[in-house]
Structure formats: C-alpha cells, structure tokens
Chain A
Amino acid sequence: MFSSDQSCWFVRKVICWRAVASMAWSVLLLLPTTALFVLLSRFSLFHPILWMSECLSLLTSASAIFSFILLCGVVLMVGFFNLEYYTVVPSIACSKIALLGQVLHPRQFVHSLVHCIMGVVVAWCCAFTIGGRYRSLGHPCTQDESSSGPEMCLNEYHLVLLLAGAFIGYSHSLVGVVYNMNYVSFHTMQQYKYLRFKGALPLVVKASAVQALYCLRSFLLLYFFMGYAPRAWICKTLDLSINSSIHSLDSVSSLLDLSLLYHLWISGTFLLLTWYITVLLFRIFVTEVYSFPVQSTFTEDAHQCLPKVITGTQPMILKFLALQDLALLSQHSPSRRLEVFSLSQPGGHPHIWTALSKECLSLLSDLTERLVAHHDTVATNGRAKSQSTGSNKRSTTSSEGSVTSVGMEDMKTPRPSALIRTPGSVFLRSSVGAGLRTPLTTPFTPDLDSPFSSPALRRLTGPLEPQGALSPGFSSIQSPHVMRRGPKLWSASTDSQLNGSPPPSPGPAPSPSQAQLKPSFLVTFLQNRKDQVKNFLAKRMLIMYLFNKLPEASSQALFADSQVHIWALQGLSHLVAASFSEDQYGIVQTTLPTILSTLLLLQEAVDRHFKLPHTSSKPGHCSCSMGDDSYKTLRFALRSTLKTAVYRITATFGGHLHAVQMSAEHRKRLQHFLEYKE
C-alpha cells in the first residue's frame, strides 16, 4: 500500500509532467518540420517563385490545418506510447526464439497495430500535402469518354503511399523491439535539455533519412511481389475499378519512377523524423536529473526523501533517478553531503547514511551474487558437456573448489549433477528456494543412491520450464518436448526476466557432508537419452537457429540494469572519499570495512566474468539507428567505474586503510591497489 502510494506521487507529479512537456514540445516542433516537408515535397528547380507561392498558399489553407491537427494527434499518440512502453532496463533476448516471443507478445502486437494505423494516417497527410497525382484514392476513369456513369478508378499512387506509411509504421515498431528503442538510457554527462536536443538533432535527421531509405527498399520489394493483393482488396471493398490504360505500379519500370521514389522517401523521412523527435524529447525529458531532498522537516514529505526513495523498487525510473541524484550529490554538492553525514536530531543516529549505504551495498552484493552464479553455471556447463556422465561428480567438486575461493558462503551448496547442468541459476536458485518450502521436496538430501532421489531432483529443475511443469506428479520420464528446452537453450533469458526484481533468497545451505553423490543407473540412463535427443535436435538447422544462444547476450543481460550499480559505486566512493575531510562524527568509518569488502568481492567477480568468452569483445556501434545500444557496453562502464571507485578510496585514505579490519586476502588485494598495480 505504502509503496504504491509512493510510486503514485512520483509518476503523477514528475514523470507525467515530463512526458506532457515532451509531447508539447514535439507538437510545437511539428510546425517547422511540416513546413520543411511541404517545401521539400513540392520542390521544383525551374519554377522557384511558383514553388514558394504554392507552398505558402497550401500552408495557410484550412485543409492543411486539418491535416496538421491529424498529425498532432498522431504525435500525441506516439508520445503516449512512449510513456506507456518505456523502460530503463532493456529486455535482452538471449536467443532468436526469445526475440520472436517478444515480437509476438500481445502488448507488442497492440503497439505494432497502432503504429501501423498511425503510419497510414501520416501517409494520408503526406499524400494530401504533396497533392497532384497523390491527392485522393479514387479518380474518375478517363480512358473512354463514352461510358456515361461516374465510374471511379483506383489511384495507385495514393495507395502506394498509404501502404508505404503502414509498412514504415510497422517496421518502426518492429525495429523498436529488435533494437530496444523503448530503452531509455542515462548519460554520463549532464547537459541542459536544449543543448542535448540540439546536439542530437542532426543524428536524428540522419537516422530517419537512412532508416526511411532502408524501409523503402524493403517496401518496394514487398510491393513488387505482393502488390496485387492489397490493390485487389481495396478495389473490391471500395468498389473501384482498375484503370487499364495506366500500367500498374508493381512492375520494375514504374517502380523506378524517380519522382515517386523521391516522394515516398521524403514522406517516410518525415514520418520517422516526427516520431523520432518525439522519442528523443521524451528520453531527454524523462532522464533529466531530479533532485530529491536528503531529509525533510515535515513528516508527510518523508516518503519523498532520498533515503526512502532509494530503497523502493517500483517504479524503476524512481530508483534510477534517486541513485543518479545520489551519485551527483556525492560528487558536486558539499552542502547536501553534509546532510548525509549528519546525525538524527533526537537520538544521534546516522539514519540517512545507514539507509543510503545499505541500499548501495545490497545492490552491489546482489550483482556479485548474480555474477558468481552465472560464472558458476557457465563454467560447469561447459565442463560437464565435454565429460561423460560418470565423471559428473568430479566436475561438481571442482566447481565447488572454484566457488569457495570466491568466498561466497552460500555458493558452497553442493549441486547434484542434474542441477548443475542447468544454467540461469538465479532462476534456478529461486526455484530451489521455493522448492524447499514446499513439503513435496522437503527431503532435500541429494543422496542419489535411493531411487526416489532423481525424480525429486527433476522436480527441482522442473520450474525452469516456462509452461509450468510444476505439477507434483511430474514423472521421471522426460519427454522430448521438455528436453528441447534443455539447459543450454534457455539460460539467460530467465536472467533477463529476473533483472531488477529483488534477488532470490538462497536456500539454506545443506551441510557439505551431503556432497557424496553417486550417479545411479536411472540418472545415467536419462542422461544418455537426453544427449540423444539433444543430438537429434542439434541436427535440425531451424531449431538450432532459433534456440542457439546469441553470443554475449547473456553477459549483456546480466549487466542490463548496471547503470544502477555504476551510480551506487560512484555515490559510495565519492561519499567515502569526501568523508575523509567532511565526516565530523566518523560515521562512515564504521561502514568502511563492509564497503571495501563488498567492492573487492565485486571486483573479483567482475574480473572472473570478463575471462569468460564473448564478454570482452566490444559490440560495433550502429550510429544510424535511433535504438540506444548503450546497454551493450554497460559492463565495460561498470568494470572501469568499479576500479576507479576502489582507487578513489585508496587514494584518499592511503596508508590509513591498514587500520581497517579485513580478511588477509582482501588486504592483499587492497595492497595492490595502494601500490597502483591493478
């Protein structure tokens, strides 16, 4: 109840107003864009005066105002969709099938449909503005004056323009899914909104022109092959006849009409430009820095203060903005830092610092946990695959060895072979936790000698199945259907679904003495069958194509929300560095050992993660699209920020850090940092 209240105030008071302001600006900007479009679409080199006067008369006509109002409606609709569909954590599809799932999602279907219709509306406005042969859908047939009836013929130019609008609208929506256009990224550099818009405008113009060109190419191909279908359909429904004296447009010669191509292209550019500008303005407005009060004098405003806001999870944008504000205040404003370091008035407790540092640390340790789990599963998956079933036990123990070196206590959990093979262990772990609470799986004793053990274990892995193989009577016989969703194929999409959600609490660790695993006959048999099915499926190209994991997608998915961690690192390290001279009561000192150990643990986990294949390769930038691909490089930003954060603390405190209590391993690590050898 409380949290919903809290989210309400922020969305109601801030986000909505920002969205409204961005829409208002995009409507205002529609005016010059439309004027430019009119000028360019009616361009004629040899009659400049006629051209200008025609344009002026068109712009001031009443019908132009009507189509302008239509365009405004479209822009407002696009703005509404931006507000409704935006996300600060990108959804990363880890395989082709997951991407297909995103595209076919009902929510996305609505998006595509509405954008398709809006594309038609914009194209109609364009056709109306360009005038001439594009003006209306039907025109009186003129081939034979003898026929008396007012027979109307189909104007194919108009139809082509409308279809192109629909196609571009749909592809905008589709490309938006593939390139995560609804993802709103935050910039490292703060700039005023106007300057940011000015800087991005040339790129947007270029992107829309290029994108329109690509769309046009695809559309023309499509129309060339399939053009007769919509034409016949329109003729049938609207009772129009096809003018047989004019060639139909789906032939090479008529599609290569330069004037037609130019008009299609300029209309597509205009459409995409207005929409992209709306998206751009929305991004700029919504990511603007919001300054939360650190503490308030009135209790009714307490839920709007930074320490309260930062701990919430919903809406995500609130958490993001709160952490951004924390990072900025720790860097730039000494007066607000003093408030963070202050003590509560009655009682003298450092509530603000405690709340802030606790939240940051829990975020960071979540990430550490996620990384370790991922590394664990990936490493063991790779190893287990190359080995025969009988040696699974060895791989289990060796993975344990590597895990204990990380020092994560809960990772000492011994895993039966069936569990180890399943990646996506964040999910897995939650399922283990959930499974432990149900009475069905209470005997969590992976004693594989007993014949009951393996169905129980199957049941544990069962929840990995998307369509709920949760039924208690889930038999030990694995159907090929289930096997297809085998471990390697699904792993990180579950990760991405889990991003941003609170971390699953690890199940209680069984004692290490239970780690005596022996593969039973049944397990061996099942493993063999599994491998057979896998091999069978691996030979089918399409299935492999759909289910194969995209390289580095799982790594991207792990770091999808890492902007939060980056800010947490910056905020913490700057606050700790500032506390060296500004913290009068020494409150930061009490948390310093925890902060250092959290940072060093994360550093270790990140280092290990970057040793995995596909993690250190930088993706190429595609500059000509509006999709923001900065999430692809967040892991590099995180790595560098983490190192800088540790160095910031060591450079500030220097030799004083020797007095901080920490484990010998961390001390050694820290010594490297103190000597600048990392």
Chain B
Amino acid sequence: MCSLALFPPPLYSMNNVVCSLKPHSRQESSSKSAFRDHCETLYTRSAGAWRDAGLSGLLNEIANSSAEVPKWLGVSSSCVLALLRWVSSFHSSLFPHLTLSSEEMTAEFSQVLDWSDCAVRGFAWHPHTQKCAVALSDDSIKIYNPKSATTPTLKHRLQRSVAALQWKPLCASALAVACHNCLLVWHVDPTSLSTRPSSGCAQVLSHPGHSPVTSVAWSPNGPLLVSASPRDTALLVWDVAVESCVPLHRVGGGGVTYLSWSPDGSRVLAATPSSLFRVWETRMWTCERWPSLKGRCQSGCWSPDGSRLLFTVQGETVIYALTFTDNPGVPLMMSGGPKAATVVADLSETTLNTPDGDIMVGGEIQSLAWDPRGERLAVHVKGRPAMIAVFKTQISPAFKLLPCGFVQGEAGTEPRLMQFNPNYQHGAQLTVCWSNGKITHVPFCFMSAGNPQPGLGGSPSFPLTQGRPADYNNQTLYTELIS
C-alpha cells in the first residue's frame, strides 16, 4: 500500500509556463439577466422557452405570464407543472443528480476541479503530433501548434459549456467536443491558415435526451466515438463519419458520467452517477457491472496495455486497481475477469515536514492520469491545497507503485486539470492547467526500463522540475503478488 507519508515533501520552484490565459470573470449561469427586458409576444417567448427548456420551460413561461393568457390556461399549466415536478421529484429521489441544472451537472461530473470558475475547461493533446486544444470558459477552443504560426479559434453556436474534448486518433484534424446539448466534431485542416474555421467545419451530433454531454472518448484504432450524459441512461456509440449512433441501454446507474477507452481499444470504462460503474468490452459490446462501491466512480485510467484499470471513488482517498487477464478476442463474459478490486494506494491526509513548516497533503482524488509508457502515474488530489502527486509505476512483470513526488504551482494556485503528453520522447511530460489560467508542462526525464532510450546518455540539460527527485525513496510501496 502506497501512502503519501512516504513521499518526499514538495518543493517550490517555477515551472516552465507555456501559455497564460486570463480567467474570465463572467458567470456562466445564464446571460439572460445581462440584457434588459424587452417586449416579445407571448407566442415568441413560449416558442423560445420550448426550444430552450422543453415542456417544463413552456409551462413555466405560460404560468408566469398569467396576465396575458386566459385564466384557465394559466391555472392548468401551473397544475401540470406542479404535477411534473412532483413526478420528477420521485425520480430524482432515486437519482439525486437529476435535480441539478445542466451547468451544475457538468461541473459536478467533469474531470476539471471547480469547472465552473476555471479559465481552462478542457485540454487535449493530439495523440500523434505536437498539437493541443484548449477549451476556455468563454466557450471557445484554441488550437496551439508549435509548427504553425496560426492558432485557430473554434467557435460554434452550439458550443456551450464544454466539458471535455479529445482528438481523434489516426487522424490529423478531427476534434470531438462534448458540449451542452450535443457533440461537435470539428475538422480543423492543419494546413489551413484560417484563424476562425467556419462552423461548417463542425459536425453536430445530437441525440434526443442526451444532454449535457460530460465525457467523450474515441476508440484508439477505429472510427467509433462514445459519449456520455448523466441524464441519459444509454451510452451512445457514434459512427462519426455517417453520423449515426447506437444507444447501449442498461438498467441501473441513472446515467453515464465518465468514459475512458483503454489504449489497446478492447475495453471502455463507463462510470455512472450512482455507486456503480461498468466495463464494456468492445468486441461484442457486453458489459460487466461493478456495483457496491462507497460512492460513484470519479475517475479512472488504463494501463497502456489495457490490462489494468485504476479507478477512484468519490468520498474515498484510495486508488483501486482491477486486473483483466483475459486473452484478447474472447468476449469478456466468458473469460476470467477480475473478481474484486484491490486497493493499491492510500492518499489520505498526512502532514509532511518541510523547511517552511508542516504542510498537509492528501485528500479526495479528482482525477488520474497514466503516462502512455506506463511509467508515471499522476494523481490529482483535491485537498487544501489541491496538488498533484506523482507515482512511478511498473507494469510488468508485476504491477508496482513507487512514490515519486508532488507537482505544485506558484503560491496560491492549484491545479485544475492535467494530461500527459503522448508524444514526449524523453520520458513523460505532464501538462497541468492551473487555477490562475496558466498551463505548464512538467517533464519527467527518465530512462525507460523497458526500452532504454539511445542518445540520452549525454544528458542534455533538461529543465529541472520538482517532480524529479526520483532517487529519494526507492523502496517499493505496492507490489502485486504474482500468483
């Protein structure tokens, strides 16, 4: 069992800041209040309410404008509204998350810490080339490419409250964006010089009842895209090129919040808002249920070979691991999947002694990230202050977890979002988005145990990071027993 007490205390030093983004002061709740009332006919308002919020919005609009409508209409719509609320209160007593508004729901289930007041709402590295997309709180997406001078800004009428984004693997241009009530797939031509690609470059994928979309995941080797919404019990599998989708319904859970496709493409983790998550195998699309958690599954990540799943549960401070040992090609149900999850690391609150005094580290876990080589595991810990703990990992011959260090930003900032760069040659590179709107890269330079990097012996001067005290504590803290 790995615990934070064995970690080296964090140091403070500057990271290499890549880009700095001003946090937005605008509240995202609704822009309606910013405008003055203007006189529209009841019909126009009702149509708008119907479009924005459906039946309940329409009824609400009619009930509120009792002066303009006949009395019986106002009264009856209030009655129906009350009835609707009463029925939905039953439903939401089963699934409390349904009482949240869409914005709150996105904030609750997003992998970003404090999504609603965060300047950076999403970040995605391109899986094959040095290019990244950043979603900002003003609902625009910027694409940074070191090789080109232009930074395209993507804006779309439907691109509201972006919860997640991901580049399509084996493709240069397609970027999937999880929006308020649809999925957008942008096709950003990498050779184009335009800084504002038109909204004609975006495919809009929407399905009734599938909103807000909180998570998307591309299949690593195919044309499929899965998307999840906490309000929709179905997991949608999209064939993006033909814009068709297959909903996969299963009873229980009340929605799907987070998706993660294993790097080998054989499985998908689907977390639900209740204490249940599913692992789908992608050959025949059958699923395994993992019920009886303490809370909902908050985050998860796969080892590069797809054999191991690490996940965290809301309200707990430990990391669980599941091992899948089936041979590929055989459907999941028939092969011996794991029988129980094991606890591999404990990140409960601990006090560490530093020269500056004791500091508290640890707490609930917000998200997990595993570098593409399977050598570093970054854990985003929610505690006060939030910080990122980094573990060294070894997958074969036995799964090992060793402490590595902490990643902290400038004083007063906390990490909001992190992702490993899949194209870093000299080890692993963690990209962190901070609460002050800065995005930094934290490189971890190491010799890979599996395949040593030739040409690194000369040790060129890589920027020093505080995540590097690799030799501080070399004892193994969690080793899987090979049975």
Contacts and interface: CB of A to CB of B under 8 A. Distances in A.
Nearest to B129: A676
Contacts of B71: none
B171 interface: yes
Interface stretch (A190-198, A297-305, A394-402, A658-666): A190-198
Contact of A676 (B190, B243, B247): B190
Interface string B235-254: 00101111110111100000
Contacts of B244: 621, 630, 633
Interface in B231-289: 237, 239-244, 246-249, 283-286
Given A189-B285, A332-B329, A637-B239, A677 B246 contact: no
* Of listed B191, B242, B246, B248, residue having the most chain A CB within 10 A: B242
A332 B331 CA distance: 11
Contact of A639 (B172, B190, B241): B241
Most buried by B among A188, A195, A636, A676: A676
A128 interface: no
Contacts of B242: 630, 633-634, 636-637
A190 B283 contact: yes
B128 A644 contact: no
A640 B203 CA distance: 13
Contacts of B285: 189-191, 195
A334 B249 contact: no
B129 A675 contact: yes
Contacts of B249: 199
Contacts of A641: 223, 241
Contacts of B416: none
A109 interface: no
A333 interface: yes
Nearest to B173: A678
A189 B221 contact: no
A651 interface: yes
A639 B173 CA distance: 14
Interface in A181-205: 187-192, 195, 199
B172 A651 contact: no
A639 B239 CA distance: 13
Contacts of B248: 199
A190 B246 CA distance: 11
Contacts of A187: 246
B438 interface: no
Interface in A327-351: 331-335
Contact of A189 (B129, B237, B329): B237
A315 B310 CA distance: 48
Nearest to A329: B329
Nearest to A332: B329
B286 to A, nearest CB: 7
Given A189-B237, A636-B241, A648-B221, A199 B246 contact: yes
B170 interface: yes
A618 interface: yes
B463 interface: no
A643 interface: yes
B185 to A, nearest CB: 11
Contacts of B128: 647, 651, 676
Nearest to A198: B249
Contact of A678 (B172, B221, B224): B172
B281 to A, nearest CB: 11
B54 interface: no
Contact of A637 (B129, B237, B241): B241
Given A187-B246, A640-B223, A676-B190, A334 B240 contact: no
Contacts of B224: 188-189
Interface residues on B, range: 20 to 34
Interface in B122-147: 126, 128-129, 131
Dominant secondary structure at the B interface: loop
Interface string B338-371: 0000000000000000000000000000000000
Interface in B283-300: 283-286
Nearest to B174: A640
B96 interface: no
B243 A643 contact: no
Given A195-B285, A675-B129, A644 B223 contact: yes
Interface string A497-525: 00000000000000000000000000000
Given A630-B244, A637-B242, A333 B171 contact: no
A633 B242 CA distance: 5
Contacts of A651: 128, 170
B286 A192 contact: yes
A199 B286 contact: no
B328 interface: yes
B148 to A, nearest CB: 10
Interface string B173-205: 100000000000000001100000000000000
Contact of A640 (B190, B240, B247): B240
A647 B237 CA distance: 22
A240 B147 CA distance: 88
Given A637-B242, A640-B241, A333 B329 contact: yes
Contact of B246 (A189, A618, A648): A189
Contacts of B191: 677
A334 B328 CA distance: 8
Contacts of B246: 187, 189, 191, 199
Interface in B312-349: 328-329
A251 B131 CA distance: 70
A288 B285 CA distance: 14
A127 B284 CA distance: 43
A581 to B, nearest CB: 13
Nearest to B170: A647
Contact of B170 (A190, A195, A334, A644): A644
A676 B241 contact: no
B328 A677 contact: no
Interface in A235-264: none
B223 A637 contact: yes
A331 B221 contact: yes
A677 B170 contact: no
A644 B223 CA distance: 8
Nearest to A196: B246
Interface string A587-621: 00000000000000000000000000000001001
A524 B395 CA distance: 79
B438 to A, nearest CB: 27
A621 B243 CA distance: 9
Interface in A621-678: 621, 630, 633-634, 636-637, 639-641, 643-644, 647-648, 651, 675-678
A634 B223 CA distance: 13
A188 B240 CA distance: 11
Contacts of B129: 675-676
B221 A676 contact: no
A91 B329 CA distance: 36
A574 B219 CA distance: 14
Given A633-B241, A647-B171, A676 B126 contact: yes
Interface in A130-165: none
Contacts of B173: 678
Contacts of A644: 170-171, 222-223
B243 A633 contact: yes
Contacts of B241: 633, 636-637, 639-641
A419 B286 CA distance: 56
9 contacts: A187-B246, A332-B328, A621-B244, A634-B242, A644-B222, A647-B172, A648-B221, A651-B170, A677-B190
The 9 closest A-B pairs by CB, nearest first: A640-B241, A633-B242, A676-B172, A647-B170, A676-B129, A333-B329, A637-B241, A636-B241, A644-B170
Given A334-B328, A637-B223, 10 more contacts: A189-B239, A191-B284, A192-B286, A199-B246, A199-B249, A332-B283, A333-B329, A574-B221, A641-B241, A644-B170
Interface of A: 187-192, 195, 199, 331-335, 574, 618, 621, 630, 633-634, 636-637, 639-641, 643-644, 647-648, 651, 675-678
